[in-house]
Structure 1
Amino acid sequence: MDPRARAVPLLAVVLLGGAAAAGCAGGAGAADAADAADVGPTGTWQLSSGTVDDAALPRPEDARATLDLDDGEAGGTAFCNRWFAGYELDGSAFALSGIGRTEIGCAPEVMAAERAYLDALGAVDSLATDGEELVLTGDGVELRFTPVAPVIESPFTGTRWVLETLVDGPTASSTTGGPATLEVTAEGTLTGSTGCRGLTGRVAIEGDMVRSTELRAGQEKCPADVGAQDRHVVAVLGDGFQVSVDGGRLTLSGPGGRGLVYRAG
């Protein structure tokens, strides 16, 4: 996927209809196969297939769509953005309300798939299970989901992290270039890349703070479209940063509102 359309406000959301939900669902992991007439399936589900008016729902390569269900709150990923909603379940009758999303720009084909997925969710009026699959249907719509295993929290050290998002004050943008990675050992050795140049160094870990004692970048010349990302990564890692790990997601918060968001690779 090459989602690099633009940087937008990190906290911006777009409401797609109805009243806003209370927030994103907290996806508990593997699905609970409880009977739909009671509390319904909960947890995190990934879209495995979908049709709208007998046409296959677009599913971009290297992107995924998910559905989190948790006690009346729904959410997930819509190939690019996070989405959120409320939901009601009465027997097999199922309805989402107040569907909204964040507003990070991705490649046109990814955004088109996102719109199609969210429109399909808005048309759903029934929920059922088919073996291990969760099936949502509506007028001309069928969406099939498979359960997602729970994410085991990854420690900061000893994990290979892959960069997903650059944060600069109130804005966030997606990555470009090759995979930008980060690995830090318990002994403080740092290796990785900016998406253009390799990185090596040493860090001192003090609780949730990490301070660079040495940071060296390769001598490769970065293309113009990767240069800004390269400088951003080097600045955050070189200036010292605060570490926050949430499941398989790592957030590095540096001075001046700059930061980096990685996923466990």
Structure 2
Amino acid sequence: MRMTALAGAGLLLLGLAACGSESTAGGTLKGKTYLSTSITQEGDGTPPAADTRVRLQFTEDGRLIADAGCNTLQAPVSTSDGKLTLKDPPSMTAMGCPGGGDALDSWLSNLLQSKPTWKLDGNTLTVAAAGTTIALTDRKIVEPDAAIDGTKWTLSGVIDYDTVGHQQGAEKAWITFNGDRVTGFTGCNELNGKVARSGNNITFGELATTRRACAEAEGAMEKALVNGLKGQMTYKIDAGNLTLSTANAGLTFIAAR
């Protein structure tokens, strides 16, 4: 699965954009992630469900990465003059979203492309446009990072250069770290092996698996997981999300709840 521009098929190549002056809106957003605590909408628009959680991540290289619970969109962004201005139409992953997730994707994309205003007051970010107001709080306050050790990390995606694909049956595969050991399940077989950690790097030794015969989809999932956990990888934890990556590949996981 590849990132596709909302306006049509194909991969949208994103340029980097500086955030610009942010002093008029009360601080800097660069390098921070915010999660919504309330969404209000006036007028004729239908507000999202009460449990909708909007995530806005402002990267150090000037991009906005956002989601409302399903697909992830991103684009270079300017935050000058108290407005969020996307420099290009956003690109978006193309996963199927149950329960009205597609409508939420469109709602969020349209809102962010309308150049909403923003204001930062301490740890609270307010984003508003066309009668919709989203109050968000610094992610680290409402959703601390999960511990890498002892957490059951469920596979969520396979990274290939700048795209993230979802493997069929990925939700059945998982890994857990405990010191210098990694154990888990490929969706078909159990796995275990040794790891070495230094800073934000993890080096995987050879992984051993049991030998149960796998159906075609399970076998593909197992191959993606075992082949993805090789050699030295960089790891990053963002709340309940773990990314293990090399220069052009990697795996993404979600902390099991």
Same fold per TM (> 0.5)? yes
1:199 aligns with 2:190: yes
1:94 aligns with 2:100: no
Distance 1:220 1:144, change over 3 A: farther
Distance 1:182 1:67 in 2: 27
1:65 to 43, 54, 59: 54
Q: What does residue 211 of structure 1 align with?
A: 205
Distance 1:184 1:44, change over 3 A: closer
Q: What does residue 54 of structure 1 align with?
A: 45
Distance 1:102 1:24, change over 3 A: farther
2:140 to 144, 149, 156: 149
The code of the aligned residue for 2:234 comes to S
Q: CA RMSD in A?
A: 4.1
How much does 1:71 deviate?
A: 8.5
How much does 1:59 deviate?
A: 8.0
Distance 1:125 1:54 in 2: 16
Distance 1:153 1:84, change over 3 A: farther
Distance 2:51 2:88 in 1: 21
Distance 1:102 1:58, change over 3 A: farther
Residues 59 and 113, structure 1, Cα contact 8 Å, conserved in 2 = no
Distance 1:227 1:115, change over 3 A: farther
How much does 1:115 deviate?
A: 1.8
State TM-score, norm by structure 1. Answer: 0.66
Distance 1:201 1:226, change over 3 A: closer
Distance 1:86 1:202, change over 3 A: closer
Cα deviation code 1:32-74 (max 9, x no counterpart): xx9854436663211342537431136887xx53123478945
1:244 to 213, 234, 240: 234
The code of the aligned residue for 1:46 comes to L
1:161 aligns with 2:153: yes
* Secondary structure of the corresponding residue to residue 56 of structure 1: coil
Distance 1:13 1:144 in 2: 28
Could you tell me which runs of 5 or more consecutive residues in structure 1 were left unpaired when the two chains were aligned: 1-6, 26-33
How much does 1:80 deviate?
A: 1.5
Could you tell me which runs of 5 or more consecutive residues in structure 2 were left unpaired when the two chains were aligned: 8-12
The code of the aligned residue for 1:39 comes to G
Distance 1:117 1:106, change over 3 A: same
State TM-score, norm by structure 2. Answer: 0.67
Distance 1:77 1:60, change over 3 A: farther
Q: How many residue pairs were aligned?
A: 233
Q: What does residue 234 of structure 1 align with?
A: 226
The code of the aligned residue for 1:80 comes to N
Residues 26 and 121, structure 2, Cα contact 8 Å, conserved in 1 = no
Residues 167 and 258, structure 1, Cα contact 8 Å, conserved in 2 = yes
Distance 1:71 1:161, change over 3 A: closer
Q: What does residue 135 of structure 1 align with?
A: 126
1:39 to 27, 39, 43: 27
How much does 1:209 deviate?
A: 2.9
Q: What does residue 165 of structure 2 align with?
A: 173
